[in-house]
Structure 1
Amino acid sequence: MPERDAATSPETATWSTHAVDADAAVDYWRSVRRQAYVDVAPSPYDRSFSGEISYADYGDFALSVKRASGEKVSRSSTLISRGAEAEYLYALFQSRGTGVVTQAGHSAEVRPGRVVIYASARPFSLDYRDPYEQVVVHLPAERAFADAGLRPSTDLLAVEIPVDGALSSVSAFFQSLAATQTTDPEGAGLLAPYGANLASSLLAYAARTRGVQDLSLLLQRERALAYLRHHLGYPDLDVDRIAVGCHVCPAALCTDCSRAPDKP
């Protein structure tokens, strides 16, 4: 892959089955998916299968566009045990076609107007019977939950989350970024900090729609901890200064942080 200018440009790559002979397409596609995501077992519905992935790594998150013929892919416990990959969350924004994501006892339809999240560290299946296209946001799982102020859980996996209200803006940002990251990587890199923040907002928003408990308390504590990490060198750092930095009153800050449940 090309080297990345750490200040601006993401590391990008594009893979396509058109680069290999037709009889090698499925094996090549599995290799491609392993590089861009994690190892899975693909089973195309069409003998003339084709697929393409455009990928960009922004450091705190990655973003890809995946287009393919109909296929079913699965990740078993055996494949998970063989791999040494970091654990990721993937948020799917569908541009074209429909599919079904199954994981953690849930099953969700992936279609335009919905976002579905799944995790690399648990068995899953993705089933697309017809050609499809989707934008995929890649998030390091542990950090994503922490930045969103949430406990790691399966509550948000393989459930349909409507792309409406505030989430419409998040979807529009990532789809627009994905459309330009190969043609203007430097410009895309300049927007990367906003993407990292929006990725955290995506999980927080999804948690709200699913009724996850303690969200406001956890968010408050995470904001306070993040402020502390970035301002530990300040000699006058106290509750009042932290409260100002977190845009809350000191009493609310102390109450919320003391009530928030500890992380496992």
Structure 2
Amino acid sequence: MPDPLIQTDAGPTPGWHSFSTASLEEAARRAGWQAAANTLFPSSVLEAAGAADFFGAVSWLRCGEVLVADFVSTAAEVSRGEEEIAEADLWYEACLQVEGDCRLAQGGRFIAVRPRDIVLYDSQQPYVMTFDGPYRQIALKLPRAGLRDRVPGIDGLILRPISGQSLPGRFLFDFVLTLCDEKAESGRAPLAIRLGSQITELLAMALSDMVSDQPLSAHRQGQLARVKAHILAHLDDPALNPGAIAEAQDMSLRSLYELFEAEEVPVSGWIRTQRLERIRRDLGDSLLASWPIATIALRRGFKDVAHFSRAFRAQYGISPRAYRKARQG
């Protein structure tokens, strides 16, 4: 059967898009729904009884690198096994339960997700999500690196429900629900692009509110968070380097290196990655379309344009010029 989302989803068309199984033959509804969901999110498997009675509808909005998807469906089970997981699935996902109940299992934990609950789960781990009846759930797909940088110890927060009645949870829940309920307004470009950073920050704030409850290396996590915050605050300064960071944080250079030993990259690599991420976002920003690439690279802390170009290609597998052309059409 033809994929109902591929052409629309792959293109640069801004605004909200939608898909419903109501347009499909009864026998094709479950397969169509799974194809639609797998176009938007990392692959999973759908199980639903009664093909003739199954119904699903989804509306989605791309907010920069964040995807917001508003799902409504009849009873179903969605599972993601080891065979569906790919190395490129570098996402965290969060569900905001609006109506109906959900049971979610991942990493040996099993929780019930009630209306106004918010739950973070990991695309790199198997999970099972069960809905025994009709439901509405808003799902978020967010870049893994962005949340890890903002929330130390984030993996300890997987499947720990955030109440949408708490102050940080309410900020996020009501903000996202309003976006979904006010589609005509929230889908306007370039507003939608900037909404992604707000969603990320609100989710990070809600998750960080729970970090104090985590028993794992609280002092180390706090110290690492302060160092990363200092780096991000001075990221555009070409003089930023490990020595300057250690001095500003009143620690030895050795202590700084040790602090990053548990990270995916050393401190110098983390600085470079963050600079490249800022530049990548700038290259996709229509408001900066007239800026020379060299100017963007230099203002983001790189001292040498040729070195930047090599680093960008090594990180993303494409030249800065080709990336900008692809993003801005």
The TM tier, using the shorter chain, reads 0.7 to 0.9
Picking from 170, 173, 191, the partner of 2:172 is 170
Q: Which moved more, 1:20-29 or 1:106-115?
A: 106-115
Q: In structure 2, what is the equivalent of residue 40 of structure 1?
A: 44
Q: Distance in 1 between matches of 2:170 and 2:148?
A: 21
Q: Is the CA contact 1:107–1:159 (under 8 Å) kept in the aligned structure 2?
A: no
Whole-angstrom CA distance in 2 between matches of 1:209 and 1:112: 23
Closer, same or farther in 2 for the Cα pair 1:4/1:108, shift >3 Å? same
Aligned equivalent of 1:261: 259
* Corresponding position of 1:201: 205
Q: 1:62: which partner in 2?
A: 67
Matches within 5 A, 1:43-192: 43-47=47-51, 48-80=53-85, 83=86, 85-148=88-151, 150-151=152-153, 153=155, 155-163=156-164, 164-181=166-183, 183-186=185-188, 187-192=191-196
Other-structure match for 1:228: 234
SS in 1 for 2:232: helix
Q: How far off is 1:182 after superposition?
A: 5.0
Kindly indicate which of the two structures has a greater share of residues assigned to helix. Answer: 2
Give the C-alpha shift of residue 196 in structure 1. 3.1
Output one character per residue of 1:189-214: Cα deviation in whole Å (capped at 9) or x when no partner: 45443223223323323434545543
Name the counterpart of 2:4.
none
Counterpart-to-counterpart distance in 1, 2:234 and 2:161: 35
Report the 3-state secondary structure (helix = DSSP H, G, I; strand = E; otherwise coil) of the residue aligned with 1:230.
coil
Return closer, same or farther for 1:78/1:13 CA change in 2, 3 Å cut-off. Answer: same
Q: Aligned equivalents of 1:194 and 1:169: distance in 2?
A: 11
**Rg: which structure is higher?**
2
Matches within 5 A, 1:19-34: 19-34=23-38
**1:218 alignment partner in structure 2:** 224
Q: 1:152 to 1:195 in 2, by over 3 A?
A: closer
Could you tell me the percent identity over the aligned residues? Answer: 16
Residue type of the alignment partner of 1:42? L
SS at match of 2:130: strand
Whole-Å separation in 2 of the counterparts to 1:256 and 1:44:
58
Give the CA deviation at 1:152.
Answer: 5.8
How far does the alpha carbon of each residue in 1:235-259 deviate from its partner, in whole angstroms, 9 at most, with x for none? xxx67xx99xxxxxx6xx4359957
Q: Following the alignment from structure 1 to structure 2, what is the Cα–Cα distance between the partners of residues 256 and 160? A: 38
Aligned counterparts of 1:46 and 1:55: Cα–Cα separation in 2: 26
Whether contact under 8 Å (1:11, 1:58) holds in the other structure is no
> Unaligned regions of 5+ residues in structure 2, if any?
1-7, 265-329
Q: Specify the code of the residue in structure 1 equivalent to 2:205.
A: S
Q: Does structure 2 conserve the Cα–Cα contact (< 8 Å) formed by 1:181 and 1:188?
A: no
TM-score, with length taken from structure 2: 0.65
Matching residue's letter, 1:231: D
Q: Which segment drifts farther, 209-218 or 40-49?
A: 209-218
Residue 126 of structure 1 aligns to a residue whose secondary structure is strand
1:74-109 per-residue CA deviation (whole Å, 9 max, x = no partner) reads 1111122xx464321111111000011100011111
Could you tell me how far apart the structure 1 residues matched to 2:132 and 2:29 are? 18
Q: Which has the higher contact order (CA 8 A, sep 6+)?
A: 1
C-alpha contact (below 8 Å) 2:172/2:202 kept by paired residues: yes
RMSD: 2.9
Give the paired residue count.
244
Structure 1 unmatched runs, 5+: 244-249
Please report how far the alpha carbon of residue 59 of structure 1 lies from its aligned counterpart in structure 2 after TM superposition: 1.9
Give 1:22's aligned amino acid.
E
Q: Partner residue of 1:247?
A: none
1:117 and 1:256, CA in 2 relative to 1: closer, same or farther beyond 3 A?
farther
Looking at structure 1, the residues matched to 96 and 69 of structure 2 have their Cα atoms a distance apart, in angstroms, of 11
